[in-house]
Every structure is written in C-alpha cells, then in structure tokens.
Chains A and B, each alone.
Chain A
Amino acid sequence: MITLVTVKIDRVVKRFGEIVALKGVSLEIKHGELFTLLGPSGCGKTTLLRIIAGLEYPDEGRVYFDGSDVTDLKTYERGAVLVFQNYALWPHMTVYENIAYGLKIRKIPRDEIKERVKRALELVKLEGYEDRYPTQLSGGQQQRVALARALAVQPKLLLLDEPLSNLDAKLRIEMRSEIKRIQRELDITVIYVTHDQEEAMALSDRVAVMNFGVIEQVGTPREIYQRPKTKFVADFMGKNNILPAKILEIKNGRATLEVLGHRISGIPAENILGDYSDLYFSIRPEKVSLTPFEGAQAFEGRVDLVEYYGFFVEIVIKIKDVFFFVRVPDLKEPLKQGDNIKVYFNPRDVILLQE
C-alpha cells in the first residue's frame, strides 16, 4: 500500500568542516505534492535531500515524516527512496536484478517480485529490457531504470536528485513530463532537486528557492516568478532586468523612483518588497513593449544587440552603460546597432526588491 506522507523539516543545520551547508532550514511538504528544491550548485539543496533520505544527518534540527521524528532513523529504516543524479545503477546486475533488489530485501515472494518489476518497467515504458545490463542502455534508459528501481518498492516518499541533468535537452523535456505523469498516476509525494528553473516551474506544485544554505522563498511557480521576494529569486528565476533605484516620493499609494537617470512614477506601493532603502527596480523583459500605451512609463537608450529566438526576439538596449533586456513577439521594422530606442512598460509590472 502506498501511503501519502508529509515531510516537515525543522531548523536543520548542516556543517561540513568550516562550511555551513544548511543554515537552519525549515520546510513543510504536503501530501501528494511535487515539491522542488531549486538553487544554484552549492546552495545546499542536495544536502537537504540527502538529509531527508537519511544519507546525511543534520547537526541541528529535526526531520519529521507524517509528524513522527525520523531524524535518527537510518536510511534503510525510512522508506524515503532516492533516485541518484548519476543513477547509481549496479553495473554487475541486470535491469531486472537492479529493480528487484529492494524487493528481495523486503523479502517479497518471488512471483510478486516478478510482477512488480514488470509493472515498474511498464510505468517507465521499458518493457522487455529485463535482461540488459546498465552499460547496454542509453542515458535516458538508465534514468528510467533508476526510477523504476525506486518505484518498485512503492516508496512513501520519492526523492529525485537532479534526475534529468545528464540527459540531452529534448529528452529532458520528455522525461520531465513522464515524471509528472507517474507522480499523478501513483499519487505519491515527490521531492525534486534541480538547478534548472525552467524544469522547476514546468514540473512543480511548489518550489523552494535556495541560496547559500538558506531558503529564499517558497511558493507556486507562478508566485515565485511573478512576485519574487528577493533580488536573488528575481534574478535566478528566468531573465530579469534588475537595476538600482531610489524612491523619490510616495503619494496616494503610488511611488515615484529614479532609475538610471529616468523618473519612473505610478508604481503601486504594495510592489515595494522590503525597506525603502537600497532598493532594486525589476521588470521582466517580456513586460516591456516597443510601442507606447496609456499610462506607460519609458526608458530611452541605444540598441546594442538583437537576437532572434523564434517565438520571441530579444533586444539588448544600453541605457547609461547598463544592459536592459526587452522581449517582444516580433519586430515590425529591423533595428540596427546604435539606433536610438524608447521602450515602454506598465508601472504595475515593476517590483521593488531588496538584496
């Protein structure tokens, strides 16, 4: 029987010698949720995942599954199954033996093992590969076997450590839909680690963005993309224009700023996250337009570079030696380097952030 599990992480601290990998991290992960730990390499996300798996132990803080403290349980007592980044398939065992391993340890009868290996392989669409050895499989197939091996034991909690990072771009997108489909089908709680923000957004119910051993923000992909709470999150999630800004005045719930020598007004005060000093102005490139509209604010600069991406065009504009990015669906007229250009945006799309 698969039982759903909630995970609570309470003020977890982990040090490796002088380095503090996790600086008091707390999190709650709900039943049946696909939860992603997202952050650059070295941010502590894999360490946190290994602590949940029971492969590392926190120096301080506790870990709870369904309200019971599992901090002192060994990895083989926890039932939180990890799919390793390098897959960790045993090269001396066949696909069948790899997947059956966890079942044999659980002393499941032979016939049932056969049945469950078969089902696990069906789930990852690798029927008929039982007798292959891992070295005879492609990277994507190895990845599926690793997943099947974890799923075969019907884990309470599935942990995925950058499972797609060794695959090529096309396969990565295919596999991430697969993972989502399997998670829905089995209805299990999944904690997913990645450094790829696009992957995190496409896949997750909720995301925790981590940096330097600290969780910067937890929320749905939409919340995190649209309302980043810190400069780091705004910068890390997708492309963003982040510029130093100064508040000139706030009147009737609207702020007026100075950004790169431009006076920008009409920004809703609720978009100011943090104190009123040392602020950064941020706006997404796709929220900027080349045509004026009612209530728009504007920047002026010179065209530096135009890059064609297919479904959008990116224009790099130099405003007072600072690069400013604009993404528009297409260009009506060609732009040349050095052309003067004026770009427009809605002040409600501006968010003011702190470091």
Chain B
Amino acid sequence: MNTKMATVVKKVRHRKILENIFGIPHFDLFAIVSYVIPLAYIFIFLIVPLAEMLKIAFTYNGAFSLHWFKSIFSQEFYISPKPQGSLYVDTPQYIYVEGLDFGVILNSLIVAMFVTLLATLIGVTLAYVMYRYTFPGKSIFRVLLIVPLLMTPFVNAYVVKLIFRENGIFNWILHDLIGILPKPIRIDGLVGVMIAQAIAYYPIVYLNTYASFVNIDPSLEEQAENLGSRGFKLLRTITLPLALPGIAAGATLTFIFSLEDLGAPIAFHSASIAKKLITYQIYDKFLSETGYRSPEIAALAIILLALSLLAFALIRKYVSLRQYAMMSKGGRWYVRTVKPKWWQYVIIYTIVLPLVLFTITPQIGVILLAFSKEWSRTPYPRGFTLQHISQIALDPSVRRYVINSITYAFTAILIIVVISVMASYVSNRFRGVLSPIVEALTVFPLAVPGIVIAIGYFYFFASITPKTSVLNPLSVSFNPGPILIIAYSIRRMPFTARSIYAGIQQVHASLEEAAMNLGSTRWRAVMGILVPLIAMNVLGGAMLSFVYAMSETSVSITIGSLEMSKAPMTAYMRDLIVSAAGSAHMAAALGFILIAVQISAIILSTIITKQRYAFIGIT
C-alpha cells in the first residue's frame, strides 16, 4: 500500500515537472523531441556563436574588460558628434551630395532612422490609398508595389547610384529635359545608401500596414461613422490606431534591415563616406584581418547586435501589448473601399503613381543592365545583348555559383521546414515554461544582423573544428557549403516559422485531439491531420525563406568567399560590382536570375496558396 502510494506520488510529481517545463501531461517522445531539436539547433548555431563573440569582445589581456568598447567609443572615427565634411559640394558641373560624417556608429543609426522615416511615410500612405480607394489602374498599382521587394543584392543599389549620377536619368529628366533643376545633383555616399535602402524596404512597411488595415473589422469603422466620425478624423482616431501595431512592426523591421544592410554600402563604396557604416567596417576589417580573432571586430559586432536587439525587443513588447486588430470575431469580411474625390484622384495620379514608378526603377535598371552592352556615360543603357545571360548558362565557372546557391538554399529550406514545424507545433499547442522560449527563438534570428552571424560563425567554427578540417574557415581545404547552409537555415527560419505558426493557430487543437481520442498517437495526429492542413503555410513560408536564402549576402560574401569555387552567387556578384566597370552587367544578369526565381516563387505561392502575398512580418 505504501509503495503503491509512493509510486502514485512520484508519478504525479513527474507529471508536474513535465507539465511545467514542456506543458505536456505525459512523457511523450514526439513532443519532447519536437522541443529539443529546435532548441538545440538554434542554441548551438545561434546562441553559442554569439556567446563566443561576446567572450572575445569582453576579453583584454586574458581578463574580462570593457577595453575594446571604451576604445571604440573614444575614437572620433566611430563617434563624432561634430560632423565632418559638408552636406553638399558645389562643383562647376554639378552639386555633389553625400551626407555628413558623424562617425561610424552614429552614421549607421542616422541612416537607419532616416530610412525608417522615409519608408514608413511612403509605405503607410500607399497602404492607405490601396486599402481605402478604388480607382482605375489599382490592380496595376498592386503589381507594381510588389516589384521593389524583388531583391538583387548590390545591383539594386548600384542602379540607384547610376540613376543619381550627374549624367544619370534623374538629372537627365529634371535638368536636361524639364529644367526644374538649375544644376545636376549627384547623390552618392550615405545619402545614396539611404535612398537605395528606403526604396528597397518601404514595401515591408507597406505590406505590414496593408495587412493590418485589411484585418480591421469593418464594423469598428462603421460604428465610428455611425456615431458621426468621418474622413481624416476617422483615419486618425480609429483606422490608424488599430493598424499601429502593424505599422510599428514594419517600421522596426525596416530599421533593423537598414542597420544590417551590407549591399548598399558596398555598392556605394567608391565614395569613402559610405564605408563609414558599422556593417561595412566589420566587413572591411574581416577581409583585412582574416585568420585573426580580432576583439575590435567582435566588439563592433556586439554593438550592432545590441542596437538591433533593442529595436526588436521594443517592438515585440509593443505588438504583444496591442493585439487588438484581430480581436473581433465573426465571419470573413469585406474591405470597405470608396471612390476618391477629384483632388484625391489628382494626388493619386500625379504624386503616388510617379512615386511608385520611381521605386521600381532599380529593378527595371537591373534588367536593362543585364541585357545591355554599355551604360556608363549615358542616362540610359546602350546596345541590347544576351551575352551576359547566356554566359551564366554556358560558362561552367559562372554557372557553378548559381548551382551552389540553389543547393545551399534548398538544403537550408529542408532544415528550416522540419525545425519550424516542430517548434511552431510545441509552442502553439503546449503551455510549458519552454513554449514561449521556443517560439521566441525561431523569430530571434530576424534581430541578428547577418554580418554578426558571419563573424560569430567564423570564430565559432575556427575554434571548435580541427585546424585541417573542411569545416574550419582557417584550413586550406575549407568548404564553406555546410556553414552557409546552417547560416541560411538560421537566418531565414523566421519567415517559415511565422507562416507555420500562423497556420497552426488557424487549426483548432480539437482537430488533433479528436484524432488522438479516436486512438491515434500524437505523431500520427500531427502528421496526418495537422500537417496536411497547414501545407499551404509551410509552402508559402518555405518559398519566402528560399528566395531570401538565395539572395543572402552577409555570410555569403564573408565566409562564402573564402573558397570561391564553392561560393554562392551573391559572393560572385559582390566581386563583379566592386571590380572594374563592365562587370556590373554580369552582376545584373545574375540579379536577373534572382528576380526570375523570386517572381516564380511569388506566382507559384499565389497560385498554390491563393494568398495574395507572401509577406514579411514579425507579428
């Protein structure tokens, strides 16, 4: 009797532990494995490398020290509250604008803030116009608004640079043709980076905001109108506040993306002020000091990480506090649209349309560049050629980069899908101490700048693998493939994980419970009931992760370029962009391949998942 009581008590205690930690009432191998694998994977390949970097950054002469941080913060090179240079230089031929130099750290922050401001302004305005108004040509707008999302690392920004040269198309139209500019303006340096980033990232704000608007229960606006509110007052008091979490999420992502971007600074690197950004400095020092575990690089990376994490933590907190846009219940609703008034038509066609057209010029430029013979001294490209595209297909030394990229991205996606399904399942279905941790960890990589991961991995793999191993970046036989696959799988996991998480949320837990109640094991219920029901979310997320993995830059151009025969295409594109004029055409041709992959993915996911967009969000 006593022993029986004891076993009962013990069982209950075990159950309590399982319930507290995992949120599962019984020992359940599948549930526990689904916790352990994502946790272990993200811990080993994200947390440990970051910790390794922390250790290096905080060590001086073998002891804990703030030395490297003090040294960074005391140098005018990094922080200079009194700006160097002048806002513009008036040369005889043109006005040269490249921005003021406040030192590397402040420059990064200022650029990110301006980009966020600009992108939010454009993104929210466009989202509101698209949400509220019906007008002829709206469906064309809708397509055009997706175009800036098509990413061609380096080449996009390079085209922005071409457009804003003294003899570029911007000055050709506004100075030579229309003549409203008395003198050509040449935009370069930090200002150029800013414009290139704002154009590239505003769709993130647009999509998040648009989704928030559409998710507002129309009855909330109707009730306000019914009580007498309308027009701008309705927008200010009801619509915008309800969409604010989405707007804030998009803005924060833009801030983080700008902060971590390495493509635009590299494209503008010929203006030396564009190099004075944190990412570029880390990258530059990495290239010049390869083989040496530089504490200064580590400290710089930690600063970048801290800034990005701060923004990320604030938005997670804020959005979780204000989850009301989706609160109302009820059936599928319609979107309330109105016809614009005459002056609104004027604004739409004379301001909004040209703005949208302007933001897609990089993509148009990439395609023109890819198919043209020459585009350096003229506002527009000259000579049509298929030479660059055909070289990718025919020249094995170029083709291999594309094949490498596809191989790495595809393998990474397989890992991402398995881990995301496990992590989203347990974090959604169980209420243990670990559940929110697993969920947060799958999104966490969004907040970690790529260059930080690159440096972290370099240190991590250099220290844990044998000196001659193919996995050791310092070894002569180094193969970057496996590390790139891991890097892609970590960096691009949030897109798939979020999509799957959202899918599981849509499936009521009783659907699996019913299966288990009828005799199916948890494994069988998940694979037979849940997974088929969220297949579309898996596919949509996986495609997004795939295209973003294909265009990954930070890890690709650092660790990836250590052995060029195994390098991904973005590493080769970087080489082309920074080398002599003319190779930009080849980079653009590779960019065109990326655009083609992305368009196919968007079309496929639209057809298969019937969602209008696969989109980026953290909510």
| CB-based contact A57/B521 at 8 Å | no
| CB-based contact A88/B513 at 8 Å | yes
Stretch at the interface among A48-56, A189-197, A243-251, A318-326: A48-56
| CB-based contact A90/B15 at 8 Å | no
| CB-based contact A55/B515 at 8 Å | no
Cβ < 8 Å to B, chain A residues 111-169: 149-150, 153
Interface residue total, chain A, C-beta cutoff 8 A: 28
Residues of A within 8 A of B (CB): 53-57, 59-60, 72, 74-76, 79-82, 84, 86, 88, 90-92, 101-102, 105-106, 149-150, 153
Cβ < 8 Å to A, chain B residues 516-532: 516-521, 524, 529, 532
| CB-based contact B15/A53 at 8 Å | no
Cβ < 8 Å to A, chain B residues 3-52: 11-12, 15-16, 19, 25-26
| CB-based contact A153/B26 at 8 Å | no
> What distance in Å separates the Cβ of A154 from its nearest Cβ neighbour in chain B?
12
User: Which residues of chain A are near B462, meaning CB under 8 Å?
Assistant: none
Residues of B within 8 A of A (CB): 11-12, 15-16, 19, 25-26, 508, 510-511, 513-521, 524, 529, 532-533
User: Which residues of chain A are near B12, meaning CB under 8 Å?
Assistant: 59-60
Query: How long is the Cα–Cα vector from A153 to B511 in the complex, in angstroms?
Result: 17
> What distance in Å separates the Cβ of A144 from its nearest Cβ neighbour in chain B?
15
| CB-based contact A88/B508 at 8 Å | yes
- Which residue of the partner chain, among A72, A74, A84, contacts B510 with CB atoms under 8 Å? A84
| CB-based contact B518/A74 at 8 Å | no
- Which residue of the partner chain, among A55, A57, A72, contacts B517 with CB atoms under 8 Å? A55
| CB-based contact A149/B518 at 8 Å | yes
Query: How long is the Cα–Cα vector from A59 to B19 in the complex, in angstroms?
Result: 11
Q: Which chain A residue lies CB-closest to B25?
A: A57
| CB-based contact A101/B518 at 8 Å | yes
| CB-based contact A76/B516 at 8 Å | yes
Query: How long is the Cα–Cα vector from A149 to B529 in the complex, in angstroms?
Result: 15
Contacts beyond the supplied A81-B518, A105-B518: 19 A-B pairs with Cβ under 8 Å: A53-B517, A55-B516, A57-B19, A59-B12, A72-B11, A75-B513, A75-B516, A80-B517, A82-B514, A86-B508, A88-B510, A88-B513, A90-B511, A91-B533, A101-B518, A102-B519, A105-B519, A105-B520, A149-B518
| CB-based contact A101/B520 at 8 Å | yes
> What distance in Å separates the Cβ of A26 from its nearest Cβ neighbour in chain B?
17
8 nearest A-B residue pairs (beta carbon): A102-B518, A88-B510, A88-B514, A57-B25, A105-B519, A84-B510, A76-B519, A75-B517
| CB-based contact A76/B520 at 8 Å | yes
> What distance in Å separates the Cβ of A263 from its nearest Cβ neighbour in chain B?
53
Known: A84-B513, A88-B513. A153 touches B508 (CB 8 A): no
Q: Which chain A residue lies CB-closest to B19?
A: A57
User: Which residues of chain A are near B516, meaning CB under 8 Å?
Assistant: 55, 74-76
Query: How long is the Cα–Cα vector from A185 to B251 in the complex, in angstroms?
Result: 64
Query: How long is the Cα–Cα vector from A105 to B524 in the complex, in angstroms?
Result: 9
Q: Which of A102, A149, A150: most chain B CB closer than 10 A?
A: A102
15 A-B pairs with CB atoms under 8 Å apart are: A53-B517, A55-B513, A56-B25, A59-B12, A72-B26, A79-B519, A86-B508, A90-B511, A90-B514, A91-B533, A92-B533, A101-B520, A105-B519, A105-B520, A153-B519
| CB-based contact B521/A76 at 8 Å | yes
| CB-based contact A76/B517 at 8 Å | yes
User: Which residues of chain A are near B532, meaning CB under 8 Å?
Assistant: 92
> What distance in Å separates the Cβ of B513 from its nearest Cβ neighbour in chain A?
5
Q: Which chain B residue lies CB-closest to A152?
A: B518
| CB-based contact B15/A84 at 8 Å | no
Query: How long is the Cα–Cα vector from A102 to B516 in the complex, in angstroms?
Result: 9
> What distance in Å separates the Cβ of A159 from its nearest Cβ neighbour in chain B?
9
User: Which residues of chain B are near A59, meaning CB under 8 Å?
Assistant: 12, 16
Q: Which chain B residue lies CB-closest to A79?
A: B519
Q: Which chain B residue lies CB-closest to A69?
A: B8
User: Which residues of chain B are near A55, meaning CB under 8 Å?
Assistant: 513, 516-517
User: Which residues of chain A are near B518, meaning CB under 8 Å?
Assistant: 76, 81, 101-102, 105, 149-150, 153
> What distance in Å separates the Cβ of A313 from its nearest Cβ neighbour in chain B?
38
A interface, by DSSP: helix, strand, loop or mixed? Answer: loop
User: Which residues of chain B are near A88, meaning CB under 8 Å?
Assistant: 508, 510-511, 513-514
> What distance in Å separates the Cβ of B267 from its nearest Cβ neighbour in chain A?
47
User: Which residues of chain B are near A90, meaning CB under 8 Å?
Assistant: 511, 514-515, 529, 533
User: Which residues of chain B are near A149, meaning CB under 8 Å?
Assistant: 514, 518
Q: Which of A86, A101, A106: most chain B CB closer than 10 A?
A: A101
> What distance in Å separates the Cβ of A90 from its nearest Cβ neighbour in chain B?
6
> What distance in Å separates the Cβ of A334 from its nearest Cβ neighbour in chain B?
41
Known: A72-B11, A86-B510. A81 touches B517 (CB 8 A): yes
User: Which residues of chain B are near A74, meaning CB under 8 Å?
Assistant: 26, 516
> What distance in Å separates the Cβ of A57 from its nearest Cβ neighbour in chain B?
4
Known: A76-B520, A105-B524, A106-B519. A84 touches B533 (CB 8 A): no
Query: How long is the Cα–Cα vector from A312 to B270 in the complex, in angstroms?
Result: 93
Query: How long is the Cα–Cα vector from A55 to B510 in the complex, in angstroms?
Result: 10
Query: How long is the Cα–Cα vector from A59 to B11 in the complex, in angstroms?
Result: 11
User: Which residues of chain A are near B521, meaning CB under 8 Å?
Assistant: 76
User: Which residues of chain B are near A79, meaning CB under 8 Å?
Assistant: 519
Known: A76-B517, A76-B521. A57 touches B510 (CB 8 A): no
Query: How long is the Cα–Cα vector from A106 to B510 in the complex, in angstroms?
Result: 20
Query: How long is the Cα–Cα vector from A59 to B510 in the complex, in angstroms?
Result: 22
> What distance in Å separates the Cβ of B166 from its nearest Cβ neighbour in chain A?
60
> What distance in Å separates the Cβ of B16 from its nearest Cβ neighbour in chain A?
8
Known: A88-B510, A88-B511, A92-B533. A82 touches B517 (CB 8 A): yes
Q: Which chain A residue lies CB-closest to B511?
A: A88
- Which residue of the partner chain, among B26, B515, B520, B529, contacts A57 with CB atoms under 8 Å? B26
> What distance in Å separates the Cβ of B498 from its nearest Cβ neighbour in chain A?
22
User: Which residues of chain A are near B524, meaning CB under 8 Å?
Assistant: 105
Query: How long is the Cα–Cα vector from A295 to B511 in the complex, in angstroms?
Result: 60
User: Which residues of chain B are near A101, meaning CB under 8 Å?
Assistant: 515, 518, 520
User: Which residues of chain A are near B517, meaning CB under 8 Å?
Assistant: 53-55, 75-76, 80-82
> What distance in Å separates the Cβ of A74 from its nearest Cβ neighbour in chain B?
6
> What distance in Å separates the Cβ of A143 from its nearest Cβ neighbour in chain B?
14
Query: How long is the Cα–Cα vector from A47 to B517 in the complex, in angstroms?
Result: 15
> What distance in Å separates the Cβ of B532 from its nearest Cβ neighbour in chain A?
5
> What distance in Å separates the Cβ of B245 from its nearest Cβ neighbour in chain A?
26
Query: How long is the Cα–Cα vector from A81 to B515 in the complex, in angstroms?
Result: 10
> What distance in Å separates the Cβ of A203 from its nearest Cβ neighbour in chain B?
22
Q: Which of B16, B514, B529, B533: most chain A CB closer than 10 A?
A: B514
User: Which residues of chain A are near B533, meaning CB under 8 Å?
Assistant: 90-92
User: Which residues of chain B are near A72, meaning CB under 8 Å?
Assistant: 11, 26
> What distance in Å separates the Cβ of A16 from its nearest Cβ neighbour in chain B?
9
> What distance in Å separates the Cβ of B508 from its nearest Cβ neighbour in chain A?
6
Query: How long is the Cα–Cα vector from A38 to B361 in the complex, in angstroms?
Result: 67
User: Which residues of chain A are near B15, meaning CB under 8 Å?
Assistant: 57
Query: How long is the Cα–Cα vector from A331 to B56 in the complex, in angstroms?
Result: 93
User: Which residues of chain B are near A82, meaning CB under 8 Å?
Assistant: 513-514, 517
User: Which residues of chain B are near A105, meaning CB under 8 Å?
Assistant: 518-520, 524
Query: How long is the Cα–Cα vector from A60 to B520 in the complex, in angstroms?
Result: 26
Query: How long is the Cα–Cα vector from A53 to B533 in the complex, in angstroms?
Result: 24
Query: How long is the Cα–Cα vector from A72 to B9 in the complex, in angstroms?
Result: 12
Q: Which chain A residue lies CB-closest to B24?
A: A57
> What distance in Å separates the Cβ of B456 from its nearest Cβ neighbour in chain A?
38
Query: How long is the Cα–Cα vector from A72 to B18 in the complex, in angstroms?
Result: 14
> What distance in Å separates the Cβ of A130 from its nearest Cβ neighbour in chain B?
18
Query: How long is the Cα–Cα vector from A60 to B510 in the complex, in angstroms?
Result: 24
Q: Which chain A residue lies CB-closest to B507?
A: A91
User: Which residues of chain A are near B16, meaning CB under 8 Å?
Assistant: 59
Q: Which chain A residue lies CB-closest to B514?
A: A88
> What distance in Å separates the Cβ of A312 from its nearest Cβ neighbour in chain B?
36
User: Which residues of chain B are near A53, meaning CB under 8 Å?
Assistant: 517
User: Which residues of chain A are near B508, meaning CB under 8 Å?
Assistant: 86, 88
> What distance in Å separates the Cβ of B610 from its nearest Cβ neighbour in chain A?
15
User: Which residues of chain A are near B26, meaning CB under 8 Å?
Assistant: 57, 72, 74
> What distance in Å separates the Cβ of B3 from its nearest Cβ neighbour in chain A?
16
